[in-house]
Amino acid sequence: MTAVDPNSPAGPTFWAVASDVAEPLGRWLTMLASERRYSEKTVEAYARDARFFLEAMTRRFRHPVTTSDLNALRPADIRSFLAERREAEVSSRSLARAMSAIRSAIGFLEREGLATLAPFAAMKSPRVKESLPRPLAETDARRIATGDIAKDTQAPWLKARDIAVFSLLYGCGLRISEALALTAADFDMSRSSSAIRVVGKGGKERIVPLLPAIRDAITDYRRLCPYQPPRHEPIFRGERGGPLNPRIVQRRMAEMRGALGLPASATPHALRHSFATHLLAAGGDLRAIQDLLGHASLSSTQIYTKVEPARLLDAYRDAHPRA
């Protein structure tokens, strides 16, 4: 496979890094994209975090970082980098992600005999405060997904489009990127169709059940839509016929959030959280919900088990006279 050139104008730049580090780092980025199948944005984030670290080490060593420098790293060097990022007011969550990226890069170099992960073994990633998903109430999620508060001034096909998109987010638990990437080829719009093919993170495919009401919403939108894109292009279109921009969906959600008096946490992604939380509250199997959401790890899905108890505790604290 052809390696990404991290110092090329088209790729992420590792500032003042020696050539014996730049070339294998290019192969690391290529591995993330091709073998690990990380998204483009994830690869960019990993490259950016590695660049920040190498910039810090270049300042610390006062010369472009070499493989010899990476083999001579000490825990004090890493602590110095973390302290520098703290001074730049980088959050614990971002620092934890940065450490994950740096460990990935150094681990790749270690497997090639060019660096060592030993100093990282003594380092703990910054502790990240767990934040629970904030789902919508069932009545609010239903009103948004069914277009109950859609604008009367909208063209009928735009109103139908919004209903179809929000129905997929709440009724199928899709990410907004997954919903907007759906093509006609992903649907079998016959009356007997009961599932859709979804391509999630890392290009992983999953089959998601399609409820009749959601299927009907998509059918209505496609019937009214003045644009008929090719079979393998996204079906959801903007007013001028191009692929629907996620910002349009976010803007529509903000309008409905205001109409319902919902907090800023009521985003399109909150509909996905609502899908998982409401299924679990109704007795849904955790493993099945994991498959429906496309989570690689069950631990990502288990966080929803904490949502309902947390909401009950909030209600207790708000209502009980001795809370």
Which residues, including other chains, have CB under 8 Å from residue 310's CB and lie 6 or more apart? 132
C-alpha distance from residue 288 to each of 123, 200, 232 (Å): 36, 16, 29
Contacts of 195 (CB under 8 A, 6+ apart): 207, 208, 209, 210
Cβ proximity of 163 and 147 under 8 Å: yes
**Residue 65: its H or E element:** none
Q: Cα 61 from chain centroid?
A: 36
Active site (annotated) includes residue 269? yes
C-alpha dist (Å) from residue 85 to 77, 96, 287: 13, 11, 38
Choice among 59, 142, 197, 201 that is catalytic? 201
Cα distance between residue 300 and residue 132, in whole Å: 11
101: left (phi over 0), alpha (psi -120 to 50) or beta: alpha
On the 0-12 / 13-18 / 19+ scale of CB atoms within 10 A, 224 is: middle
To the query of whether residue 278 is one of the catalytic residues in this protein, the response is no
* Residue in 175, 215, 222, 278 annotated catalytic: 175
Q: Is 60 a catalytic residue?
A: no
Question: Taking a C-beta distance cutoff of 8 angstroms, is the pair 105, 46 a contact?
Answer: yes
Annotated catalytic residue 295: yes
In whole angstroms, what is the distance from residue 139 CA to residue 255 CA? 17
State the catalytic residue, choosing from 237, 257, 272, 278. 272
Q: What is the DSSP letter of 204?
A: -
Which of 38, 46, 221, 304 does the annotation list as catalytic? 304
* Options 51, 143, 273, 295, the catalytic residue: 295
Give yes or no: 175 in active site. yes
**Would you name the residues annotated as active-site residues?**
175, 201, 269, 272, 295, 304
